[in-house]
């Protein structure tokens, strides 16, 4: 009987569902993203429990060291969340993982084939944000730069993109009265080439106006732009500059965001982001967007929320667009392209090579008058098998017709051999 019990216990990981715990920090992205990160952690623990292997490559970028980790081996089956709780700023999730079917095929040794985009991190450039009414932002120190930096941070935090900002460089000019952006596909393509990115994001801040009034006691010189103060004439109180201060009670944040494909220069989508904050809406000029003091105000929290909304919309726009990178150098049968370990490119990955054809940007009849571009024609010219990976670029062996610098490698689901 004891031998039989021992035998059953040894087989239990393969026969029965097993509970595994995952943990993730509760960050600015909210509980939904923390829950998904904790579930992913629990599933990874389940895979390791069932005999998966971990392959880690270490790389150095400047003075910083990093790792690229690849999980291979035993797949897990379906799961359900058993319980979850918060403790010390972390979300804990316990999942009940069902074993994978016994007849399921072994995991493919190909290093990057999961997900709608192959598991790769795609590069995004956040360009300059125009201010439609700059006078409204007198108290918002370096507001366009702050929007860029915060969007870059949140794009990174999403776990889907590698983001950077173009200081002072816009993806488009604006028409008179800021009615709409003047689309310039070649400028978008030039920015994408220069910054080695796949996508470009830009925007116009339409409105940051204030409304209403709220009143409170104030002393000294505690008066910000947009506020007014009535000082008491009573001796003593006058010396302390004690009085009543009137501050705006509400403030808007309206912004248009434009998402561009860096390969063609075409606009993928545009979004209107709007909201209104009530309470503390004026800022000290020394507290720029991104500072702790700014984030603690009602207006700061509104902008943080709206930037999260923006990043979520951008992610939805780009979710089904395949990963691509530009070939920068060709040496006989070896090619170099501008994405590497930080984008989760791995040795052994197979990518298709495409070339943009001459002839300009095609338009349809409906969009001819407006000049709205649909994209660029292209053709498949070969295939690359990745052989070496560095943090920001990779090398591979090409199979196919003559590949040239300026061609693009792209991950296509089901095209790997």
- Please give the sequence-ordered ranges of beta strands (E in DSSP) within 183-249, or none if there are none: 199-207, 210-211, 214-218, 228-231, 243-247
CATH number of the domain to which 302 belongs: 3.40.50.10610
CATH number of the domain to which 360 belongs: 2.40.10.410
Q: Of the candidates 317, 344, 370, which is a domain's last residue?
A: 317
- In-domain check, residue 46: yes
**CA distances for 263 relative to 15, 123, 226, 334, angstroms:** 49, 12, 44, 22
Average pLDDT, the chain: 77
If asked whether residues 192 and 282 sit together in one domain, one would say: yes
If asked whether residues 206 and 254 sit together in one domain, one would say: yes
pLDDT at 124 over 90: yes
Strand-pairing partners, residue 325, are 409
If asked whether residues 164 and 50 sit together in one domain, one would say: no
What is the number of structural domains in the chain? 3
Q: Of the candidates 317, 341, 356, which is a domain's last residue?
A: 317
If asked whether residues 372 and 270 sit together in one domain, one would say: no
- In-domain check, residue 242: no
Q: Which two tokens stand for residue 301?
A: 């929290």
Mean pLDDT is lowest, of 25-29, 154-158, 362-366, 403-407, for: 362-366
- In-domain check, residue 114: no
Question: What pLDDT is stored for residue 312 in this prediction?
Answer: 94
If asked whether residues 198 and 74 sit together in one domain, one would say: no
Question: What pLDDT is stored for residue 417 in this prediction?
Answer: 44
Q: Using alpha carbons, select from 249, 155, 241 the residue that is nearest to residue 210.
A: 249
If asked whether residues 155 and 196 sit together in one domain, one would say: yes
If asked whether residues 343 and 208 sit together in one domain, one would say: no
pLDDT digits (tens, 9 = 90+) for 48-88: 555 544 444 554 555 555 444 444 444 455 667 777 777 77
pTM of the predicted protein model = 0.66
Question: What pLDDT is stored for residue 392 in this prediction?
Answer: 92
- In-domain check, residue 233: no
Q: Please enumerate in sequence order all residues whose Cβ is within 8 A of that of 269, keeping only pairs 6 or more positions apart, or say none.
A: 258, 259, 313, 317
Token pair 């999403």 is at which residue? 158
Residue 299: give the domain boundaries.
122-212+248-317
pLDDT at 174 over 70: yes
List % helix, strand, coil for the chain (3-state, nearest 5): 25, 40, 40
CATH number of the domain to which 93 belongs: 3.30.1660.40
Question: With bands split at pLDDT 50, 70 and 90, how would you rate the model's confidence at 274?
Answer: very high
Q: What percentage of the chain reaches a pLDDT higher than 70? A: 68
Q: Which residue has the higher pLDDT, 213 or 57?
A: 213
pLDDT digits (tens, 9 = 90+) for 340-398: 999 999 999 999 999 988 765 554 444 444 444 566 788 888 899 999 999 999 999 98
Q: Where are the alpha helices (DSSP H) in 102-216?
A: 143-157, 185-195
- In-domain check, residue 171: yes
């Amino acid at each position: 009987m004891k031998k039989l019990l021992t035998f059953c216990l040894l087989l239990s990981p393969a026969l029965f569902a097993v509970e595994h715990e995952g943990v993730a920090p509760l960050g600015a992205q909210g509980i939904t993203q923390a829950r998904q990160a904790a579930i992913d952690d629990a599933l990874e623990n389940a895979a390791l429990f069932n005999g998966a292997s971990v392959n880690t490559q270490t790389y150095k970028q400047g003075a910083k060291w990093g790792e690229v980790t690849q999980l291979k081996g035993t797949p897990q089956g379906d799961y359900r969340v058993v319980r979850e709780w918060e403790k010390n700023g972390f979300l804990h999730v316990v999942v009940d993982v069902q074993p994978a079917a016994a007849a399921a095929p072994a995991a493919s040794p190909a290093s990057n084939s999961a997900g709608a985009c192959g598991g790769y991190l795609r590069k995004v450039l956040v360009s300059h944000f125009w201010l439609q009414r700059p006078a409204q932002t007198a108290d918002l120190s370096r507001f366009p730069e702050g929007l860029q930096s915060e969007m870059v941070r949140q794009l990174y935090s999403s776990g889907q993109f590698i983001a950077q900002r173009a200081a002072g460089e816009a993806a488009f000019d604006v028409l008179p009265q800021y009615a709409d952006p003047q689309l310039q596909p070649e400028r978008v393509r030039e920015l994408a080439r220069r910054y080695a990115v796949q996508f470009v994001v830009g925007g116009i801040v339409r409105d940051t106006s204030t409304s209403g009034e709220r009143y409170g006691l104030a002393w000294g010189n505690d008066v910000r732009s947009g506020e007014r103060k009535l000082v008491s004439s009573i001796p003593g109180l006058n010396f302390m500059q004690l009085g009543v201060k009137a501050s705006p009670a509400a403030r808007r944040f309206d912004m248009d965001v434009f998402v561009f494909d860096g390969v063609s220069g075409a606009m993928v989508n545009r979004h209107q982001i709007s909201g209104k904050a009530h309470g503390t809406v004026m800022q000290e000029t020394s507290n720029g967007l991104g500072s702790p003091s700014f984030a603690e105000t009602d207006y700061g929290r509104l902008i943080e929320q709206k930037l999260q909304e923006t990043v979520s919309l951008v992610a939805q726009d780009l979710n089904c667009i395949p990963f691509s990178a530009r070939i920068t150098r060709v040496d006989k049968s070896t090619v170099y392209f501008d994405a590497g370990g930080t984008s989760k490119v791995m040795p052994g990955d197979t990518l298709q090579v495409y070339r943009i054809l001459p002839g300009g940007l095609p338009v349809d009849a409906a969009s001819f008058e407006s000049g709205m571009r649909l994209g660029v024609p292209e053709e498949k010219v070969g295939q690359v098998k990745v052989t070496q990976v560095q943090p920001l670029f990779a090398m591979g062996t090409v199979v196919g017709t003559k590949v040239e610098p300026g061609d693009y490698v792209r991950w296509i689901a089901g095209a790997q051999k």
